[in-house]
Amino acid sequence: MKLCLRCNNYYGDEVSICSRDKLALEPVGKDPLIGALINNKYAVETVVGKGSSGIVYRATRLLMGGAVAVKVVHSYLGADPKSMEKFSREVRALEQLRHPNIVNLWESGVTDDGQPYLVMDYLQGTPLSSLIEAEGVIAGSRVLEITRQVCAGLQEAHSQGFVHRDIKPENIVLDSTSEQDFVKVCDFGIAYTVFENGMNTISRPTTVAGSPAYMSPEQCRGLPLDRRTDIYSLALVVFEMLTGKRPFEAKTSKEFMVKTVNDKMPLMSTLRPDLGIPEPVDLVVAKALQKNPKDRHASAVDFAKELSLACQAADFSSVKGSNQKNDGRLQNPSQRVNERTRGPQ
């Protein structure tokens, strides 16, 4: 089996060039862990996700029962320092974070053939990206509840000194096992710490990492980051949930980054005047989307509080629009999702 590292499409061993990106394919082997027993604890059953950095399997815990997600780094990346740094970063972050709104890490280690792995919650639910795609515009009350829970998870990460750096709809999962939305924040693979922030301030800008459509201006410029970059990214997600649109449209990652740094951020009401978005709500989101981090909310909790007060003051319990479903709940069948590897977005 071979993989295109740009589009994450898989091909047979006989193919050498990606038909879409015209890039040389990387051999990644087959799925050797299906049927395997990891650490005498986890029976691997099937593949549930694939990406440029590894494969995610569904497995059963033999002693406790229940399903888990096992993320295994591709064997050809095992000797790559950058890939292993990303993997170690994710492990370090998840080992320290225990919060209902953050995916849990159960264990990490190395398989018998030398492939690093980590064992996490296996989530049954729907990515927020799928909900936005299906409904277009999401009811204000539901947006507020989702935002509150994401902020709660981020506040825990920030209090532990971590910056997520990749908040986007794909990394926010709505657990479908409850009648109410229960949010899990996923993928801390590029999270970094306040200590690293300090080193970057002294020596050099940080490596640019993240998903360009949801990156902050300082992130696009490779500057040192703090919790306020996550607040900016989350505000972009809120903007998209309430309007069904991103504030900027671009064809390339570079174009997204240039617009993020240089272009004026539109108000939600300007982009979608047909939705009647209240001014107080518009202004809270606009504050979180300021170019200068100092002009944003000081914490995720502050953002959640101000958004909640603005919604209450404006009696913003729903958003009326042609794409909004009457009940505000998921209309598409739930999908099994997991803390999976992802390629460039």
Q: How far, in Å, are 194, 201, 225 from residue 197 at the CA level?
A: 5, 6, 6
CA separation for the pair 72, 334 (Å, rounded): 25
Residue pair 105/95 in contact (Cβ under 8 Å)? The answer is yes
Of the residues 21, 80, 121, 166, only one is catalytic, namely 166
Residue pair 337/123 in contact (Cβ under 8 Å)? The answer is yes
315 catalytically annotated: no
Here the tokens at position 189 are 């693979």
* H helix runs in 203-247, sequence order: 217-220, 227-243
DSSP state of 53: S
Q: Transcribe 80-100 into DSSP letters.
A: -HHHHHHHHHHHHHHHH---T
Q: Measure CA 318 to chain center.
A: 25
Q: How far, in Å, are 111, 164, 194 from residue 198 at the CA level?
A: 35, 16, 6
Q: Which residues are catalytic?
A: 166
